[in-house]
A and B are shown apart, each in its own frame.
Chain A
Amino acid sequence: MQLPNEIEQLLYRVEKPGRYVGGEYNQTVKDWDSVDLHIALAFPDIYDLGQPNLGLAILYDLLNQAGGIAAERVFSPWLDMEAAMRSAGLPLFSLENKRPIRDFDILGITLPYESIYTNVLNLLDLAGIPLYSRERTKAHPLVIAGGQACFNPETMADFIDAFVIGEGEEVFIEIAEAYRAWKKSGGERGSLLESLSEIQGVYVPEFYEVAYQEDGRIASISPTSSIAPKRVRKRIVAQLPPPVTRFLVPNVGIVHDRIAIEIMRGCTRGCRFCHAGVVNRPVRQRPVAEIVDAMEAGLQATGYQQVGLLSLSSSDHTQIIQIVDAVYERFKERRVQVSLPSLRIASFSVDLMQRLQTLRPGGGFTLAPEAATPRMRAVINKELDEAELLETARQVFERGWLSLKLYFMIGLPGETMDDVLAIAELGKKIQRIGWQARGKRISVHLGVGSFIPKPHTPFQWAATDSSASLMDKINALKDALRKTGIKLSYNHSDSTLLESWLSRGDRSLGQVIHAAWRNGAKFDAWNEHFNIDAWQKAFESVGIDPAFYAHRSRDLDEVLPWDHIDIGVNKQFLRADWLMSQRGQTRDDCRDGCFHCGILDAFSEVQPLANEYYWGCP
């Protein structure tokens, strides 16, 4: 592929130019004029972070296999390349055909988390596309977004023409077809948006009106067009489509040099802090043979030696033992490293890991108790017997691992300093167990994250703990762990504040995001680039108090900004769960008995009967 001259001259001077040139093994480059629909898939962070994203790989594969579509990739250029492009007046271009993004019909943006929002504005600006949806005409690409952050689309509603709520595999094709039909019809932009809003799982913010109360809370959210549904129900695929195996192989080092196979989507555990566990219901599994065959094909197609078997809770796959056995049998003669994240705390998980380790040894062991006292574990609905945790830790050390990492959260609703200090105590107990098993060689690492309440979870009504309180808790942990040799890491930083401002935001935050970007905010997810001043000034200039979004408990009957987004789980269920949490009551794993969260009522029509594609719902 001959690069346009303007691009080439910039590449000589920037760091890692391989990020901007494409040319990877397994990339799909179509003749531009041979297709009638051009879709740019954007991940608004640098190539190194965006390229390994599985969602992007799935859509790239799927759209390029559909007839008449060229799907090309685009990422945020790093600061040096951005400066070079701006000074050369070069617009953002795609990696495949090196075409300006504004020449595409559709720009599909992945929004996995909130700290990527200013990068979206920067990306649109670099592409020469008006930032605000209302300023675009049919001469501009249709700008759509999808991903886990879109379950509350309101914060970004000003900038996105249409959101995909839920899983994109089927709905993206329907969007492409609607676009194609509209293009043929020669209609106005408004008629395109109307036809999109008729697709289940597509949310067009322009067709909804938000009324506020005097104190800034929402009075109502209502459709302004008769075509727009009152509530937009998310899309799911009834059965996971065949996994991607023809992974694009990056030429420059990226964060995960491996193939990823999703073994299960969704989770039945019902941890109350967990966004992914609620919004990705119901549980859908992949059959054993499909997983092992996909590994084989994926390794063959890429030349990688590492595989990540992904899910929210690996040990809950009903055939996890068969999967591990089959993987072991198939790959025992080869040098393949298999990772199985998110294992339940039980000795059985150690058995699984040990089996996989024999394929290729190395690495540490990770467990996530999340809270250190039985009381807090009841609050978050992650019940766990401490004796079982200690026994699991003992097994980890006895079977050969020398390091154990444990994840916890602080800032949970109802948490006291005693609950926090118990994290250090638990760490010490585990360290002693390690010493008994293997001597002083072992290491214990505690990873402590600050809890941020997320929309659609039972904790969506809770206030985020104050920064001062979180810092006190971290300092108390540091003190308690001094001279113990236990490693403590924590992620509390200004950028977690940003997440708490934006994740439960409404449409009024659009102007704040815009102001923050104008003040220079970008790459907010990068701690070293996060510019809290830019954000604080933005909130001030717009006259909004960020604490209103972060540190305020919501009334149970308050209209929440995402109430018109229907994830299939009903609000009464979440409310009951929130009240149970305050009483310290727990719910069992819902595959043992249905609690009527609503997901089955919403999607029973598509539930497959075939046992192989078993849903977690009883």
Chain B
Amino acid sequence: MTRVRVRYQKIGSLRYIGHIDLHSLLERALRRSGLPLRYSQGFKPKVRLNLASALPLGMEGLAEKMDFWLNVQMETDGIKAALIAALPAELPVTGVRIVDNALPSLQADLRAAEYQVTLPSESCAEAQVVLTSALQQEKIMVKRRNKVMDMRPWVEAFEWAADRGFNIRLRSIPQESGRPDELLDYCGIDPARAAITRTKLIFQTEE
């Protein structure tokens, strides 16, 4: 059993595809690839496939990761070529590696994520003021579905990028995963007018 780790991007119109739909999209793409896939056991076997982290709807991802399994050993070049042929253009593959089966799952290994937020240029200066003051507060209470949470402790790094917006690193573990759009909402900035890109996933063991 070969565990294949794929680094890919989710860009363009595909950023409007939700996590569950992305999962079935990848499953179908893997079947199209003709690779000797490993299936789950059971009455209705499914392609064995793990994604590192759900990317919120509307955001682009430049360094997303997934694992899937093959029944045989194969060269990474061949795997990569098969994947590229089977995936839509807005889901480009940027890296393929074989990894140890004993490693923890991507989800369990994930620690934080970095985002690049671009704001409309006319509102940039004003946003800088509100964001800076928000981050100086002790708590940033945001609402997600019916829960109110403090996301201040999850902000691990923040840097202002002149004339464009900002970069932010947010903790990303179960129950404690920050979202940049929620921060914008908190500051009264319409997230629909911002372009948010997840630029990096940071893991405990995986580099």
Chain A residues in the interface with B (C-beta under 8 A)? 1-3, 8-13, 16-18, 20-25, 249, 251-253, 257, 300-305, 335, 361-362
A302 contacts B21, CB within 8 Å? no
A251 and B192 in contact, given A303-B27, A335-B45 (Cβ under 8 angstroms):
no
The reply to whether A9 and B193 form a contact with Cβ atoms under 8 Å apart is yes
Q: Give the total number of A-B pairs whose CB atoms are below 8 A apart.
A: 75
Return the chain B residue nearest A251 by Cβ.
B17
CB neighbours (8 Å) of A17 from chain B are 16, 57-58
Q: Is B29 on the interface with A (CB-CB < 8 A)?
A: yes
The reply to whether the CB of B24 lies closer than 8 angstroms to some CB of chain A is yes
B14 at the A interface (CB under 8 A): yes
Looking at the complex, which one of A23, A300, A362 makes contact with B13 (CB distance below 8 Å)?
A: A23
Given A22-B13, A23-B12, A251-B25, answer yes or no on A301-B31 (Cβ-Cβ < 8 Å). Answer: no
A252 and B28 in contact, given A12-B192, A17-B58 (Cβ under 8 angstroms): no
Q: Least Cβ distance of A583 to chain B in Å?
A: 52
A23 adjacent to B88 (CB under 8 Å) = yes
Indicate if the CB atoms of A1 and B13 lie closer than 8 Å: yes
Q: Which residue of A lies closest to B27 (CB)?
A: A303
Check B58 against A252 for contact (C-beta < 8 Å).
Answer: no
- Looking at A10, A16, A252, which has the most chain B CB atoms within 10 Å of its CB? A252
Q: How far is it, in angstroms, between the C-alpha of A3 and the C-alpha of B34 when the chains are bound?
A: 32
Bound together, the chains give a CA A25 to CA B31 distance in angstroms of: 13
B32-66 vs A, Cβ < 8 Å mask (1 yes, 0 no): 10100001000111000000000001100000000
Contact between chains at A11 and B16 (CB < 8 Å): yes
**Across the interface, do B17 and A252 meet the contact criterion of CB distance under 8 Å?**
yes
Instruction: For the complex formed, measure the closest distance between the CB of A460 and the CB atoms of chain B, giving whole angstroms.
Output: 44
| Seed contacts A12-B192, A13-B192, A25-B87; 5 additional CB < 8 Å A-B pairs | A12-B57, A25-B88, A252-B17, A303-B30, A303-B86
Residues of B within 8 A of A362 (CB): 44
The 5 closest A-B pairs by CB, nearest first: A303-B28, A23-B13, A21-B13, A12-B192, A303-B31
Q: Please name all residues of chain B whose beta carbon is closer than 8 Å to the beta carbon of A257 when the two chains form the complex.
A: 24
Assuming the A-B contacts A302-B32, A303-B32, are A12 and B191 also in contact, with contact meaning beta carbons closer than 8 angstroms in the complex? yes
Interface residue? B90 (CB, 8 A): yes
Residue B18 lies at the interface, judged by CB distance under 8 Å to chain A:
yes
Question: Is B28 a contact partner of A304 (Cβ separation < 8 A)?
Answer: yes
How close is B143's CB to chain A, nearest CB, in angstroms?
Answer: 16
Given the complex of chains A and B, what is the CA–CA distance between A361 and B43 in angstroms? 9
Contact of A251 among B21, B27, B34 (CB under 8 A): B21
**CA of A16 to CA of B45, assembled, Å:** 27
A18 touches B45 (CB 8 A): no
| Cβ distance A298 to chain B, nearest Cβ, rounded Å | 11
> Using Cβ atoms and an 8 Å threshold, which residues of chain A touch B88?
23-25, 251
A149: min CB distance to chain B, Å: 31
6 residue pairs from A and B, CB less than 8 Å apart: A17-B57, A18-B21, A21-B16, A24-B88, A251-B17, A252-B17
Contacts of A21 in B (CB 8 A): 13, 16
Shortest C-beta distance, A415 to chain B (Å), equals: 43
Bound: A19/B191 CA distance, A: 20
CA of A12 to CA of B193, assembled, Å: 9
CA distance A405 to B31 in the complex (A): 33
- Let me know if B32 and A23 touch, CB within 8 A: no
- The answer to whether B21 and A23 have CB atoms under 8 Å apart is no
Instruction: Give the residue name and chain of the A residue nearest to B87 (CB).
Output: A25
Instruction: Known A253-B24, A302-B32, A303-B29; judge A23-B14 contact (CB<8 A).
Output: yes
Q: How far is the CB of A334 from chain B (nearest CB, A)?
A: 10
Q: Contacting A305 at CB < 8 Å: which of B14, B25, B31, B193? A: B31
Judging by beta carbons under 8 Å apart, are A249 and B28 in contact? yes
Query: CB within 8 A of B12: which of A1, A249, A304?
Result: A1
Give the distance in Å from the alpha carbon of A8 to the alpha carbon of B88 in the complex: 20
Chain B residues with CB below 8 A from A301, complex form: 32
For A95, give the chain B residue with the smallest CB separation: B13
Tell me which residues across on chain B come within 8 A of A18, comparing CB atoms: 13, 16-18, 21
Which of B43, B86, B192 has most chain A Cβ within 10 Å?
B192
Query: How many angstroms from the CA of A257 to the CA of B44 in the assembled complex?
Result: 16
Report the separation of the CA atoms of residues A304 and B86 in the bound assembly, to the nearest whole angstrom: 13
- A359 nearest CB across to chain B (Å): 13
B13, B43, B58 pick with most chain A CB within 10 angstroms: B13
How far does the alpha carbon of A303 sit from the alpha carbon of B37 in the complex, in Å? Answer: 13
| Chain A residue, CB-CB nearest to B33 | A303
Q: Which residues of B contact A335 (CB under 8 A)?
A: 39, 45
Q: Closest CB of chain B to A28's CB: distance in Å? A: 13
Query: How far apart sit A2 and B12, CA to CA, in the bound complex (Å)?
Result: 6
Chain A residues closer than 8 Å to B28, beta-carbon distance: 25, 249, 302-304
Determine the chain A residues whose CB is within 8 A of the CB of B192 once the complex forms. 8-10, 12-13
In contact, A251 and B14 (Cβ under 8 angstroms): yes
Q: How far is the CA of A305 from the CA of B24 in the complex (A)?
A: 12
Distance of A295 from chain B, by nearest CB (Å): 14
